[in-house]
A and B are shown apart, each in its own frame.
Chain A
Amino acid sequence: QQQVKQSPQSLIVQKGGISIINCAYENTAFDYFPWYQQFPGKGPALLIAIRPDVSEKKEGRFTISFNKSAKQFSLHIMDSQPGDSATYFCAASSKDTSYDKVIFGPGTSLSVIP
């Protein structure tokens, strides 16, 4: 129940296209859903996050869509660029006693080709 599922495992998108990564969860106690971006040899960095009281959040070319009833959320990268090539992790967290423990999905390796 603590698992976060993520698909696809890898994704190849043409420059200028839309990249879509999907995630699903089971635990309804999750109340915060961040996405992280990780470049090779680097640590993950928080990219964008959403709470379940909204259905969509947009920051620049990055948009999170959230479907509370289906317990699913997705990341859309509009006008994908080669510089977006990285591994993307969805995650979920909930207040657990004194802090918000984060559960990560397995990641999606995105390659944007020119």
Chain B
Amino acid sequence: NAGVMQNPRHLVRRRGQEARLRCSPMKGHSHVYWYRQLPEEGLKFMVYLQKENIIDESGMPKERFSAEFPKEGPSILRIQQVVRGDSAAYFCASSPRGQAAEAFFGQGTRLTVV
């Protein structure tokens, strides 16, 4: 049973470009959570999705950021018109039920904006 798969592992984007981060949850998991981690900081919650639904996006910036979890395929975190401050590690986690504290994490995507 493969774990939570995130790709790409590393992503470099120029300011103003778009970044697409993908997350394939563990088999049987229909709940996905996205977090952002800055150096010397803990993980900050961004968004919680179930299949085809956004349950809680209270941690997501109102502009330029969006997330989806379609019926088929991975969850996508999309950042439009990236800025230097978006440089961070982005982690997704998945769980079979709405229990974020027991979710399994992927290895993260490290986004660098140059």
The answer on a CB contact under 8 Å between A45 and B100 is no
The answer on a CB contact under 8 Å between A46 and B102 is yes
Give the total of B residues in contact with A, Cβ under 8 Å: 24
Tell me what chain B mostly uses at the interface: helix, strand, loop, or mixed: strand
Residues of B within 8 A of A99 (CB): 31, 48, 55-56, 98-100
The answer on a CB contact under 8 Å between A102 and B101 is yes
The answer on a CB contact under 8 Å between B101 and A104 is no
A1 at the interface (CB under 8 A from B): no
Cβ of B9 to closest chain A Cβ, rounded Å: 9
The answer on a CB contact under 8 Å between A106 and B98 is no
> Taking CB as reference atom, which chain A residue is nearest B58?
A101
B114 at the interface (CB under 8 A from A): no
The answer on a CB contact under 8 Å between A43 and B106 is yes
A98 at the interface (CB under 8 A from B): yes
CA gap between A93 and B101 in the complex, in Å = 7
Cβ of A59 to closest chain B Cβ, rounded Å: 15
The answer on a CB contact under 8 Å between B98 and A107 is no
Residues of B within 8 A of A62 (CB): none
CA gap between A41 and B107 in the complex, in Å = 7
CA gap between A102 and B44 in the complex, in Å = 9
On A, residues with C-beta under 8 Å from B are: 4, 6, 9, 32, 34, 41-46, 49, 89, 91, 93, 98-107
Can you report 9 residue pairs joining A to B where beta carbons are below 8 Å apart?
Answer: A34-B101, A41-B107, A44-B91, A93-B101, A98-B55, A99-B98, A99-B100, A101-B56, A106-B41
